[in-house]
Amino acid sequence: MTELAYLADMSAAYVWSFRARIVALPPGGVVLDRTYFYPAGGGQPADHGSLRVGDATVEVVDVTRSGNAVHHRIRGSGSNSRGFSSGAELDGTVDWERRHQNMRLHTAQHLLSARTFERAGLRTTKAVLRGMDATIDLEATLAPEFLPELAQDIEGVVGAARPVTIRHVPRGEWDLLPSAGRSGLVPLPPQVDPVRVVEVEGADSCPCGGTHVRSTAEIGEIRMMAPFLLPSGGTRIGLTLVRPGATVPPA
Ligand SMILES: [Zn+2]
Residues 76, 161 within the same domain = no
What is the sign of the dihedral through the CA atoms of 197, 200, 201 and 202?
negative
The residue among 32, 64, 94 that closes a domain is 94
249 domain residue, yes or no: no
> How far does residue 157's CA lie from ligand 1's centre (Å)?
16
pLDDT digit string, tens, across residues 11-37: 999 999 999 999 999 999 999 999 999
Residues 43, 107 within the same domain = no
Average pLDDT, the chain: 93
Dmax over CA atoms of the chain, in Å, equals 59
> How far does residue 83's CA lie from ligand 1's centre (Å)?
36
> How far does residue 13's CA lie from ligand 1's centre (Å)?
12
Phi, psi of 74 (to 5 degrees): -115, 155
Residues 106, 45 within the same domain = no
Domain boundaries, position 114: 99-243
- Single pTM value for the model: 0.94
Protein residues near ligand 1, an ion, with CB under 5 A: 106, 208, 210
pLDDT at 181: 78
> How far does residue 30's CA lie from ligand 1's centre (Å)?
26
pLDDT at 169: 95
The SS3 call for residue 7 is: helix
73 contacts 29 by C-beta, under 8 angstroms: yes
> How far does residue 245's CA lie from ligand 1's centre (Å)?
18
248 domain residue, yes or no: no
pLDDT at 186: 78
The residue among 94, 118, 137 that closes a domain is 94
* H or E stretch covering 97: helix 96-120
The residue among 39, 63, 94 that closes a domain is 94
pLDDT at 159: 94
Asked if residue 6 has pLDDT above 70, the reply is yes
- The secondary structure of residue 174, as a DSSP letter, is H
Residues 203, 82 within the same domain = no
Residue type, 72: H
Residues 16, 33 within the same domain = yes
* DSSP β-ladder status, 56-66 and 133-138: unpaired
pLDDT digit string, tens, across residues 212-234: 999 999 999 999 999 999 998 99
> How far does residue 78's CA lie from ligand 1's centre (Å)?
38
Residues 64, 118 within the same domain = no
Asked if residue 250 has pLDDT above 60, the reply is no
What residues does 163 pair with on adjacent strands? 215
250 domain residue, yes or no: no
> How far does residue 165's CA lie from ligand 1's centre (Å)?
11
> How far does residue 67's CA lie from ligand 1's centre (Å)?
21
Residues 114, 8 within the same domain = no
Q: Among residues 251, 247, 249, 250, which one has the least CA distance to residue 217?
A: 247
Residues 32, 123 within the same domain = no
- Report how many domains make up the chain: 2
Residue type, 76: G
89 contacts 28 by C-beta, under 8 angstroms: no
> How far does residue 210's CA lie from ligand 1's centre (Å)?
5
Question: Domain containing 68 — which CATH number?
Answer: 2.40.30.130
Residues in the chain: 251
pLDDT digit string, tens, across residues 35-57: 999 999 999 999 999 999 998 99
> How far does residue 106's CA lie from ligand 1's centre (Å)?
5
Residues 79, 31 within the same domain = yes
- If you average pLDDT over residues 200-204, what whole number do you get? 94
pLDDT at 126: 95
The SS3 call for residue 65 is: strand
Distance between CA atoms of 175 and 82, rounded to whole angstroms?
Answer: 49
> Between these two residues, 250 and 202, which has the higher pLDDT value?
202
Residues 118, 229 within the same domain = yes
Asked if residue 251 has pLDDT above 60, the reply is no
Residues 117, 10 within the same domain = no
Residues 209, 135 within the same domain = yes
